[in-house]
Amino acid sequence: MASSRIFISGSIGQVSAELTKGRKTDSVYVFAHGAGAGMNHPFMTRLSKELAELGVAVLRFNFPYMEKGSKRPDVAAAAEKTVLRAIEHATEKFSGVPIFAGGKSFGGRMTSQLLSKNSDIACIGLVFVGFPLHPAGKPGVDRAEHLKNVKIPMLFLQGTRDALAEINLIRQVVGSLPHATLEELEGADHSFRSGKKDLIPSLAEIMHTWMKNRTK
């Protein structure tokens, strides 16, 4: 793993980043963290290592609020700018290598909001590791409205017991998007816990296969 700093803007400053890379690099995944835990959460680091072993280098980074130790997520404009700078950082480091982006929950949503407004970003696919479709106990699809403006292929990894994405609603959303694929993990919650099962290797395999098919 290699640590670095990414400059976001004069007002925001820099954030920490970590690159996890294996012996080969067929593609890169810019992996944004969820609202409640930073880039070094065990879920983030383990999934990154599994992907790296399959040939997917992973760039993790903190959002500014997490870098400062705050518990209150950044406003969308700051979060989206951070994702953009992270994608640009990955593009500079891996010239000519296919770039994918996305993230866990909040991080994935901030990435898709950015990409829904900017079709010229050097990113060929979007991977959601648990899209937060609605608050717990308040089913709805308003948070998915912007997805119809995303022009690149999307992969949704969703647990069937995810309290932030009622499974029938996420099926409805993905079914309405022409370039989207849904992979359901039976019995998994928003943290991809399903009893004693370790789902991280499965998540990595699904992501790697989908990415590989996008680069053929």
Mean pLDDT of 134-142: 97
Mean pLDDT of 60-86: 97
Mean pLDDT of the chain: 97
* pLDDT value, residue 175: 97
Q: Does residue 123 contact residue 109 with C-beta atoms inside 8 Å?
A: no
pLDDT band at 216 (very low <50, low <70, confident <90, very high): confident
Query: What is the pTM assigned to this prediction?
Result: 0.97
Residue 1 has pLDDT above 80, yes or no: no
Higher pLDDT, 2 or 131: 131
CB atoms within 10 A of CB 11: 8
Whole-number Å distance between alpha carbons of 43 and 72: 21
Mean pLDDT of 62-81: 97
pLDDT band at 67 (very low <50, low <70, confident <90, very high): very high
Residue 17 has pLDDT above 90, yes or no: yes
Whole-number Å distance between alpha carbons of 37 and 75: 16
Whole-number Å distance between alpha carbons of 14 and 68: 10
- Structure token pair of residue 42: 């065990």
Sheet order of strands, 27-32 included: 2-9, 13-20, 56-61, 27-32, 99-104, 125-129, 154-159, 180-185
Per-residue pLDDT tens over the stretch 87-114:
999 999 999 999 999 999 999 999 999 9
Q: Which is it for strands 99-104 and 125-129: parallel, antiparallel or unpaired?
A: parallel
Per-residue pLDDT tens over the stretch 29-63:
999 999 999 999 999 999 999 999 999 999 999 99
Per-residue pLDDT tens over the stretch 182-213:
999 999 999 999 999 999 999 999 999 999 99
pLDDT band at 117 (very low <50, low <70, confident <90, very high): very high
Q: Does residue 146 contact residue 119 with C-beta atoms inside 8 Å?
A: no
